[in-house]
Chain A
Amino acid sequence: MLRKVLVANRGEIALRIVRACRELGIGSVAIFSEADRASTHVRLADEAFCVGPGPVPRSYLNVPNIISAAMVSGCDAIHPGYGFLAENARFAEICADHGLKFIGPRPEIITAMGDKATAKRVMADAGVATTPGTDILPTVELAREAAEQIGYPVLLKATAGGGGKGMRVVERPEDLERAFLGATAEAEASFKDGRVYMEKLIRDPRHIEVQVLADEHGQVVHLGERDCSIQKPSHQKLIEEAGAPNLTERARARLHEMAILACRHVGYSNAGTLEFLSSGDDVFFMEMNTRIQVEHPVTEMVYGIDLVKEQIRIASGEHLGYTQADLEPRGHAIECRINAEDARNNFAPQAGTLGAVLFPGGPGIRIDTHIFSGASVPPYYDSMLAKVIAFANTRDQAIARMERALRETLVEGVATTTEMCLEILATEGFRSGTYDIGFLPRLLTQRVG
């Protein structure tokens, strides 16, 4: 087993990893920026190193200081969490160069899956269904030709993208040039990589993803699916649930089968998530995230498996120790993201000092958060403050439990998404489980109307 892990992240996921280390009897080393000096993960880790000032490039992306902190504190591994350096293959290589185990898949897998156009090609080779689309499109003229072949509407996507950045829907030929220029500029600004590719736009699809775990000895299992279709207009997820409601058994079986097939094909190891678009019985591979996901707790709740501990065990070279037949989901789990955002103002991020903070409790409620009363919400980072997770035997019970929990939630000092989540939970679309990825944007449009 690994002895001491540096946690190269902040916020709730850093705390989540510190807790997993503590329960495994492994030492933990936090890193933090000057803006996060009073943060909970700093307080609860065994050791902590400041790696730079508040802005992300100078702290949480400061690779020399992060590696040096791991070296001088005697770590033998680095857990990258999600975001920041989690899908940076070069960082994984640098870890290896310094004798540090990167808790994630091999760098070449990160590279292949990180480039979404390459990932689609690899998955198609593996026999996984993918949406009709193109490789990277260097010019607007090539994009125009591709769109004519695929057929409108199409979706332009950044190959290095995520979180909806560098993504544009193009309904008509006359909109293509503007969308292409906008997508490339946004991708360049967000990822320093302006390359985009094109996909056929699947109308009203659901975003379904499959959690996988693979050890370094060839054993692969899936831990079912999550429905992440409640997304903001920016395509960022707001509510997730496991399992996916109203998914056809045929679609569910295909999703699980393709996830295993894909992992075996690329020789995947550690935790990962394959994201699909689903419509009826059709499922199309979108991308693979080679890291732990924000919404991993809903899977943990229904499978009773601690995914972060599994990541560490796998990175330690241990065998999974169970097979697919040993895994049976139980009950239903829903996660709501409590973000410091003004839902009535296009989800504008908020920063400042929190007033009173009080989270819910009681049966079936799990809270993953790093905030506390009086904590600072710096302007430099992602606006997620907490994840409220409700677990129950049935979906209806989980919804009722989540509504109760959100009403108990108190976060003063900044606008949050709590009320927005309650509003969504109350809709017929959510309660019936028939929503798709356009659900929240439509709800917001109706509300304005």
Chain B
Amino acid sequence: MTSEYSPEDAASARAQRLAEFFVGTPLLRLRIEREDEEFEFVRSSPAHAPHRSEAAQSPEPAAEIPVDVLRADVVGIVRFGRNAPALGEEIVEDRELAAIEALGIRTSVRARSMGRLRAILCEDGAAVDYGRALFEIERG
């Protein structure tokens, strides 16, 4: 017996179901990676998170905007360089966006991919702890 659905249809149906699940949660980002496919759903901002009732009325899948969230992996002080990034700026891969100074050691915070700088979540000279979100980049 053969399936009446093509693999593309099946993937699309899975995306639809996941999108429906995602919009009904308070999550800002959901990424699922499997061997042969990956899905990523991102809300544009927490304020846009719909209530559960709205989610139930809006079954369309959320737009898939791949976003890199750059986080601090050391505790220290954020330092913006001379070429401090500006919100909305197009960023090239590996560009240093800031550095974290800790115990006299400077650790670069670099873009993992090219894209548009969607959010700057830290301030020059501020103390940051492990895991603190610093920048968001819309890949592309």
Residue picked from B75, B103, B127, B132, most chain A C-beta under 10 Å: B75
| Chain A min CB distance to B128 (Å) | 8
Could you say which of A68-76, A212-220, A399-407, A419-427 contacts chain B?
A68-76
Which of B75, B77, B103, B127 is A51 in contact with, Cβ under 8 Å? Answer: B75
Give the residues from 122 to 140 in chain B that come closer than 8 angstroms, CB to CB, to chain A.
127, 129-132
A68–B131 contact, CB under 8 A?
no
A439–B103 CA distance with the chains assembled, in angstroms: 50
Q: Given A71-B103, A98-B103, are A65 and B132 neighbors across the interface (CB < 8 Å)? A: no
| B76 surroundings in chain A (CB, below 8 A) | 68, 72
Which of A53, A65, A73 is B74 in contact with, Cβ under 8 Å? Answer: A65
Q: Given A64-B103, A68-B103, are A34 and B75 neighbors across the interface (CB < 8 Å)? A: no
Interface size class of B (residues with CB under 8 A): 10 to 19
User: Is chain B's binding surface mostly helix, strand, loop or mixed?
Assistant: loop
| Chain A min CB distance to B75 (Å) | 4
| Chain B min CB distance to A247 (Å) | 47
- The residue of chain A having its C-beta at the shortest distance from the C-beta of B100 within the complex is A68
- The residue of chain A having its C-beta at the shortest distance from the C-beta of B77 within the complex is A72
Judged by a CB distance under 8 angstroms, whether B102 is at the interface is yes
Q: Given A72-B76, A98-B103, are A65 and B130 neighbors across the interface (CB < 8 Å)? A: yes
A34–B127 CA distance with the chains assembled, in angstroms: 17
B102–A68 contact, CB under 8 A?
yes
| Chain A min CB distance to B122 (Å) | 13
- The residue of chain A having its C-beta at the shortest distance from the C-beta of B131 within the complex is A50
B130–A72 contact, CB under 8 A?
no
B132–A50 contact, CB under 8 A?
yes
A98–B132 CA distance with the chains assembled, in angstroms: 24
Give the residues from 67 to 118 in chain A that come closer than 8 angstroms, CB to CB, to chain B.
67-69, 71-73, 98
A49–B129 contact, CB under 8 A?
yes
| A68 surroundings in chain B (CB, below 8 A) | 74-76, 102-103
A51–B129 contact, CB under 8 A?
yes
A441–B103 CA distance with the chains assembled, in angstroms: 48
Interface size class of A (residues with CB under 8 A): 10 to 19
B102–A64 contact, CB under 8 A?
yes
| A48 surroundings in chain B (CB, below 8 A) | 129
B129–A69 contact, CB under 8 A?
yes
A304–B2 CA distance with the chains assembled, in angstroms: 81
| B74 surroundings in chain A (CB, below 8 A) | 64-65, 68
| A73 surroundings in chain B (CB, below 8 A) | 127
A65–B131 contact, CB under 8 A?
no
| A71 surroundings in chain B (CB, below 8 A) | 102-103
- The residue of chain A having its C-beta at the shortest distance from the C-beta of B76 within the complex is A68
Residue picked from B127, B129, B132, most chain A C-beta under 10 Å: B129
| Chain B min CB distance to A341 (Å) | 30
A72–B72 CA distance with the chains assembled, in angstroms: 14
- The residue of chain A having its C-beta at the shortest distance from the C-beta of B103 within the complex is A68
Which of A53, A72, A98 is B75 in contact with, Cβ under 8 Å? Answer: A72
| B129 surroundings in chain A (CB, below 8 A) | 48-51, 69
Which of B77, B103, B130 is A50 in contact with, Cβ under 8 Å? Answer: B130
| A59 surroundings in chain B (CB, below 8 A) | 130
Judged by a CB distance under 8 angstroms, whether A52 is at the interface is yes
- The residue of chain B having its C-beta at the shortest distance from the C-beta of A97 within the complex is B103
| Chain A min CB distance to B31 (Å) | 18
| A65 surroundings in chain B (CB, below 8 A) | 74-75, 102, 130
| Chain A min CB distance to B53 (Å) | 26
| A64 surroundings in chain B (CB, below 8 A) | 74-75, 102-103
> Residue-by-residue, is B47-65 near A (CB-CB < 8 Å gives 1, otherwise 0)?
0000000000000000000
| B75 surroundings in chain A (CB, below 8 A) | 49-51, 64-66, 68-69, 72
| A72 surroundings in chain B (CB, below 8 A) | 75-77, 102, 127
Q: Given A65-B74, A68-B74, A72-B77, are A51 and B130 neighbors across the interface (CB < 8 Å)? A: yes
| Chain A min CB distance to B6 (Å) | 41
A52–B130 contact, CB under 8 A?
yes
A376–B76 CA distance with the chains assembled, in angstroms: 28
| B130 surroundings in chain A (CB, below 8 A) | 34, 49-53, 59, 65
A277–B132 CA distance with the chains assembled, in angstroms: 49
- Seen from chain B, the residues whose Cβ lies within 8 Å of a Cβ on chain A are 74-77, 102-103, 127, 129-132
CB pairs A–B below 8 angstroms (22 shown): A34-B130, A34-B131, A49-B75, A49-B127, A49-B130, A50-B129, A50-B130, A50-B131, A51-B75, A51-B130, A53-B130, A53-B131, A59-B130, A64-B102, A64-B103, A65-B102, A65-B130, A66-B75, A68-B76, A69-B75, A72-B76, A72-B102
Q: A49-B129, A59-B130 are in contact. List 11 more A-B contacts (CB 8 A).
A: A34-B130, A34-B131, A49-B130, A50-B129, A51-B130, A53-B130, A65-B102, A67-B103, A68-B76, A68-B102, A71-B102
The list of the 8 closest CB pairs from A to B, nearest first, reads A72-B127, A68-B102, A49-B129, A68-B75, A50-B129, A65-B75, A50-B130, A69-B75
